[in-house]
Structures are given as structure tokens and as C-alpha cells.
A and B are shown apart, each in its own frame.
Chain A
Amino acid sequence: MNQNEPNLYLWLIPLLPLAGAAINGLLGRRFPKKVVATVGLVFVAAAFLLSAWASWQLCHLPLNKGPIVENLFSTKDPLPWITAANFRVDFSFYLDQLSMVMILVVTGVGFLIHVYSVGYMEHEGGYYRFFSYLNLFMFFMLTLVLSSSYLLMFVGWEGVGLASYLLIGFFLTKDSAANAGKKAFIVNRIGDFGFLIAMFLMFQKFGSLDFGKVFDGARGLPVESPGSIGILTAIALLLMLGATGKSAQVPLYVWLPDAMEGPTPVSALIHAATMVTAGVYMVARSNAIFSRSPLALTVVAIIGCVTALFAATIGMTQTDIKRVLAYSTISQLGYMFMACGVAAYSAGIFHLMTHAFFKALLFLCAGSVIHALGGEQDMRNMGGLRKKIPWTFWTMTFGTFAIAGFPPFAGFFSKDEILWNAWSSPYGNKILWAVGLITAGITSFYMFRLWFMTFFGERREAEKGAGHDSHGHANNGDHVHESPLIMLVPLAILALLSFTGGWVGIPKALHGSDLFNRFLSPVLSGVASAEPENPGLEVELAATSVAVASAGLFLAWLFYCKRRDLPDKFAAALNGFYTLVRDKYRVDELYDWLFVQPIAEGSRKLLWQEIDVGTIDTLVNEAADSAQLVSNEARKMQSGNIRSYAGWVALGAAVVVAYMIWVGLR
């Protein structure tokens, strides 16, 4: 480490939330709620301030200086974590422009959601447990984005999975919550398998898992031909398998909608703003590998594109407010992968950041609505809430306009950058752009559908005994009340960010500075655009997407505000297809039939009844039985009669003597 380089105490950033998690987890049971909340908030706030300070320092270093690598406890020499033969991994942290954006988003949005949770979880049991888990999640997420090697990243990667599992199953007496947690965990394992194999290949090829060494090695290799699967393509595809699991992409997206069983702040923090974007971060971080494999990029782009459209269509038909947002998250993550797939990594990270703002906002607003309605989650039982909960309404409006992509909200700039890159990048093409555009329209439609159904029209009669009562209030529809201030302040801040967050990346075509892109350029060396700069075309495309979003808004208004009878007629006209989409294309049933049932049946019939009971148990029992049989006979020799022993001894001696006389001495 250079002497004049500032010591940034990077290791403290993840460890502060861990301390919070330990204090609350070990001692929190005895603390009053105020203390628990204070501990939870203080450590995350400290991590945020430290991140901000470190980022400030980083920004004042020369832009092309490269990453800052610091070791645990700020020791000068690298601290080996694992050493075995020529394998060595250090416990060190890595700060560059990319991880800087990530830690700011994670700690910033994370802190706001912690604040919100103080109010939201007020009436829930297990208050200390909740904050302990949340802090634990922050620790692992910060480890993930600050790690300097794939292995340490994997620790964070698995850790956030654990925290996600714990928090999805937070209402642990509820069967559906426990099952959703298990589902998330198991589906993620499939992706982790890919990540692990990718690490093995990396070590085999580059002899290290350090980012620096791996990327240097990858940069030394030529770009692989799209037709064959070379080592880089294999690594990239396996990493992408990991990313599809963590970031809920086709075909491993099925866990995310079910993850909505967790408390709403968890959905906002883990399953919208931060953890699920880990896959995007990982792909962007590995851009040196992906950029050398056109085949892998194509696969990433196609997966992202398919996921975006697929999830968006499901989002149109859902009636549970949180599930709409869940499918929306999957769809937006698809956008980010589409950006990565056309080698526009910074556009993906840009969308990651703005999405963190507006999706966290939307989830928290949804939580506020659910809170106001005492646990009601079905949008069919909402309506007319605009006047009753104005703060929630206005902040949610910001979020909705941001995700729908109306200028000058944040989502417009990031989404447009992705669409523009899908059109203009050498890896992009018009089909990707068209699908992205259609998805933008659908996104606008289902978000405004949610908005109209929740806040406009008349309050629809709540059916007694609301089904999805994941929020434990008594279902009392008459007492619609605005949330407390501690929940509204985070909403207001996030609304502000959703409004202004995109301004850091206004493209040149719109007379902006393209600051975000340039800031990330030392890390994310995207591929230079094949087409010449064409500001006119870019503006035209942006205008098209705004037009499409407006069309979505108009349709949603027509269907859910003006002509309430239309949706039903429409659904009746498209009967078969509509039910298929409403049932989420029956993918869960397909997976159940294709994988779960065969495995369960195979386990029961073959592994349990045949192999375990039939073979192993039988073998053990047979061995025991035969041992008993033999010993029953052999036991008789041990009569306890000394004379018979002596007889045996004498006989043996006689045999030995006889042997020596007739055979041995010859």
C-alpha cells in the first residue's frame, strides 16, 4: 500500500452492522424496543457515514488510479485467509467506483429502510430478531460488494442468501412463510452451484481468485469466437447461472414472488433494492470476462430480455399489491441484465441504482398502504385511498412515475440508457430494443393499474378475513390511518431520490453530462459504440419510450378508472390466455411436475424405500444377524469350565509338537 494513500478503514464498513447484529441477536431479547431500534440504526448509520467518507476520499483520487485494496484491520501486509499449496485468498476489501456506488446504495437505502422498519414492525413480535437479521444482512451484503476476490464475494453471496431465508421466514409460525424461505434457499443453491464451478475453472485457468489477477489474466486472452465454448465463455455462463439464481431471472426466478411472505421492509431491502441486484453487480464486476465472450453476452441479453417481458406480463394480472411489485422487480432486473448483455454495464448499474431508489420506495409505500388497511394486501379490496393517506399517495406517485419512465424522474434516464444501448451497442439489436420498449409499456400499464386500483375510485368492500395477512394487525378496514412520521420520512427521502436520482446520468443527447457513465468508465470498460454518436436518434428513441409509457398510463386509466367493466370483458375475451398469465404461466406447477415431484417421489420410493430401507438397512441387519448366529455357536467354546480350556491348550500343544516332529523339523 502506498504511504500517502489514505487509510479508509474499509473493513469497518461491513463489520459495523455485524456488531449491531451480534448485540441485538445475543442481548436484544432483554432490551426494550427503543434500545433495539437504536442499536440497529446506529450501526447502519455509522456504516453509511463511513461509506460516504470513503467515497468522498475515493472521488478525490485521480480517476484512473485503480482500485483501493485494504486488508482486514488495516494491516499493511495482506492477511492470508486461506492458504493451501499454491492457492491463496486474502481477507481484503476492494473499493473502486463500482463498489462505491454499491456501498452507497446499500447503506443509504438500507438505513432508510431500517428507519422505516422501526415504525412498521412496532407491533410485531420478535422485534430484536428482526433488527438483528437486518443488520446481519447488511454485513453480508457489504462483504459481497467490498470483497476483493470471488471467494470472499461468495461468502457474502451465501450470507445474504441466509439472511434472506431468515427474513422471508420471519413469521416463523406461518407455514407459507417457512416454505417460501425454503424455496428461496433451495432455488438459490442451483445458482450457487454454477458460481462454485465458475470459481474452480477460474482457479484452474488463472491460478487465483483475486479480482485483480483474474481480470488481468482474462484481459490477456483474446475475444473468443461466438460459435465455440472456450474457457471464458464457460466461466461467464456459469457465473450467469449463479446470477440467475440470486437475481431471480428466468429460469430461476420462481422464488422471488414467494419471498413476499416476509415483512414488507424486507421485501423492499432484500428482494428489491439490494440483494437481488447482487447478480447484476457480479456480472458487471466480471465485465473483463464477459466482454471477451460474445456468446455469454448474448445469453445474458436474451435471459434479461425474456425475463423482463415474461415477468411484466405476469405483473399485469396479479391482484396482491406486493406480488405486482415482486414481478415488477424481476422484470426490472431483466432490464439490468439486458444492459449487461449488450456490454453496457454502466447502464445496468445506473438502472440498479435508480431501481433501488424507486422500488424501495414503492415497496415501502405498499407497506404503508398495508399498514393503513390493517394487513389487507389484495388490491381488489382497496381504492379511494388518495385522500385518506395523502403522504403515501404522493410518494407512491413519485415512485410510479419513476418506474414507468416519465422524465424527469430517475427511471426515465436509466431505462432509456438501457434501451438506447440495446439499439446501438455492437452486441445489441433492434429486437432487444423492441422487447424492452414493449416491456416499458407493460410496466407503465401495471404500475398505473396498481396506482389507480389503490388510490382512486371508491373503497371496495373488504371481504372478511383477508387472506394474506402477513402484517399482523387486526383487519379493521374502517380505521384507515396514515402511517407514523418515522415511516413517512424515509418515504419522502426516497421519493426525492426517485425524482432526482437519474440526473447524475443524463445522456449527452439530452444536453446532460453523462456523469455516471464517465465516473464508472475506469472499472466498466464497455465496448465502444459501433454506430457513430447519433443524438437525434437517441432523442427520438427516448420520445418513443415516453410515448409508450403514456400509452400504458392511458390504458390503465381507461381500464381501472374510467371503464371499470372493461378488464373483466377483456379477460373474458382472452379467457384461456388470461387465466394462464394470471396463474403465472403455471411455471410453478411445471417445475413441480418436472423437478419437485420426481425428486420427492424418487426420494421416497427409490432412495428411502429401496436404497435406505431395502439395501442399507437390510445389509446392516443381515450383518448383525449373521454375527449373532456365528457367535451363538462360538460362545459354546467359552464354557467357563477351566478343565475344558486346559484340554484345548493341551490339544493345541500336542498339535504343535506333532507338527514340529513330522513336518517342522524336516
Chain B
Amino acid sequence: MVPLSYYLGLSAVLFCLGVLGFLIRRSIITIFMSIELMLNAVNLSFVAFGAYLHTLNGQVFVFFVMVVAAAEAAVGLAIIIAVFRTRETLNVDRVNLLKL
């Protein structure tokens, strides 16, 4: 059986990748995907703990996260499309009209 620390390590690596992607990339789509990556990294650690502790709590939590993520994807993608239609760019650094 794969020990817990492997799962957690993978989860941490995925999360860090998500953070880095969020910080470095400029495309809104990529940033969005990075967020999904971070969510799923957390999901992985939930599931891993759930299996390790033989409880269902972790598994149930993952479903909630997935539901939220799905809703977020729906709203988020809609926003991205709207942004693209008006601005004709997906570069976050240029979507700064409200900035002081």
C-alpha cells in the first residue's frame, strides 16, 4: 500500500504548481486552470486522509469542493467570455480598467 506521505507530497507539489501558475501566467484561462489545480490538490489530500483514517468525512468534503468548483467554472468561464468579447484580450495585466 502506498503510504500517506506520498499522497500528501504529491498534493503539496500539485498545490505549489497551482500557486506558481496563478502567480506567473498571464492568461486568464491558465490562471483559472491553476485555481482548479489547487482545488484538486486539496481534494487529493482530503481523499488520502479519508482513506487513511477510514472515515467518509474526507470523501464527502471532496464532493462539496467539486460542486463548488463546477459552479465556479460555470460562472468563471462566462465571465472570461464576457471579458474577451469586450476587451479582446485574455491578458490579466491589461484588464485593469478599475485600477487606481
What is A's interface to B at a CB cutoff of 8 Å?
640-643, 646-647, 650
User: With contacts A643-B22, A646-B22, A650-B19 known, what are 10 further pairs, Cβ within 8 A?
Assistant: A640-B96, A640-B99, A640-B100, A641-B99, A642-B92, A643-B23, A643-B92, A646-B19, A647-B23, A650-B23
Q: How far is the CA of A641 from the CA of B96 in the complex (A)?
A: 8
15 pairs across A/B with beta carbons < 8 Å? A640-B96, A640-B98, A640-B99, A640-B100, A641-B99, A642-B92, A643-B22, A643-B23, A643-B92, A646-B19, A646-B22, A646-B23, A647-B23, A650-B19, A650-B23
- Complex Cα–Cα for A643 and B22 (A): 7
Instruction: Bits for B83-100, please: 1 = Cβ < 8 Å to A, else 0.
Output: 000000000100010111
Residues in A whose Cβ lies below 8 Å from that of B96: 640
B22, closest chain A residue (CB):
A646
Query: How many Å lie between the Cα of A643 and that of B93 in the bound state?
Result: 9
A452 to B92, CA, bound (A): 105
Bin the interface of chain B by size: under 10
- How far in angstroms is the closest Cβ of chain A from B89? 16
Residues of A within 8 A of B99 (CB): 640-641
Which B positions have Cβ atoms within 8 angstroms of A?
A: 19, 22-23, 92, 96, 98-100
A646: chain B residues at CB < 8 Å are 19, 22-23
4 cross-chain pairs, A with B, having the tightest CB-CB distances, nearest first: A640-B99, A650-B19, A647-B23, A646-B22
CA distance A640 to B100 in the complex (A): 7
Tell me, in angstroms, the Cα distance from A642 to B92 when the chains sit together.
Answer: 9
Q: Which residue of B lies closest to A649 (CB)?
A: B19
Q: Min CB distance, B26 to chain A, in Å?
A: 9
Q: Which residues of A are found within 8 Å of B100, using beta-carbon distances?
A: 640
**Measured between alpha carbons, how far is A646 from B20 in the docked complex, in Å?**
10
**Given the complex, which residues of A lie within 8 Å of B22, measured CB to CB?**
643, 646
Q: How far is A656 from B19 in the complex, measured between Cα atoms in Å?
A: 16
CB distance from B80 to the nearest CB of A (A): 14
In angstroms, how far is the closest chain B Cβ from the Cβ of A287? Answer: 79
Among A640, A641, A643, A646, find the residue whose CB has the most chain B CB atoms closer than 10 A: A643
Task: Report B-chain residues with C-beta under 8 Å of the C-beta of A650.
Answer: 19, 23
Q: In the complex, A422 Cα to B92 Cα: how many Å?
A: 103
In the bound complex, residues from chain B placing their C-beta under 8 Å from that of A642 are 92
| Least Cβ–Cβ distance between B55 and chain A, in angstroms | 22
User: How far apart are A636's CB and chain B's nearest CB, in angstroms?
Assistant: 11
A650 to B34, CA, bound (A): 14
Please name all residues of chain B whose beta carbon is closer than 8 Å to the beta carbon of A643 when the two chains form the complex. 22-23, 92
| Complex CA–CA separation, A640 to B95 (angstroms) | 11
B19 contact set on A, CB distance < 8 A: 646, 650
Residue picked from B22, B92, B96, B98, most chain A C-beta under 10 Å: B22
Residue in chain B with minimal CB distance to A657? B12
Taking the closest CB of chain B, its distance from the CB of A245, in whole angstroms, is 64
Chain B residues contacting A640 (CB-CB under 8 Å) are 96, 98-100
CA distance A647 to B23 in the complex (A): 7
In the bound complex, CA of A646 to CA of B99 (Å)? 16
- Give the residues in chain B near A641, CB-CB below 8 Å: 99
What separation, in Å, do the CA atoms of A640 and B98 have in the docked complex? 9
A640 to B22 alpha-carbon distance, docked (Å): 16
Tell me, in angstroms, the Cα distance from A595 to B86 when the chains sit together: 78
Give A643 to B34 CA distance when docked, in angstroms. 13
Quote the shortest CB–CB distance from B29 to chain A (angstroms).
15
Chain A neighbourhood of B23, CB < 8 A: 643, 646-647, 650
Q: B73 to chain A: closest CB distance in Å?
A: 19
Report B16 CB to chain A, min CB distance, Å: 9
Looking at the assembled complex, report how far the CB atom of A282 sits from the nearest CB atom of chain B, in whole angstroms: 70
Complex: A641 Cα to B92 Cα, angstroms: 9
Report the bound CA distance from A643 to B23 in whole Å. Answer: 5
How many whole Å from A405's CB to the nearest CB in chain B? Answer: 90
A642 to B96, CA, bound (A): 10
Q: Which residue of A lies closest to B34 (CB)?
A: A646
Rounded to whole angstroms, the CA-CA distance of A112 and B23 in the bound complex is 95
**In chain B, what residue has the closest Cβ to A644?**
B23
B12 to chain A, nearest CB (A): 9
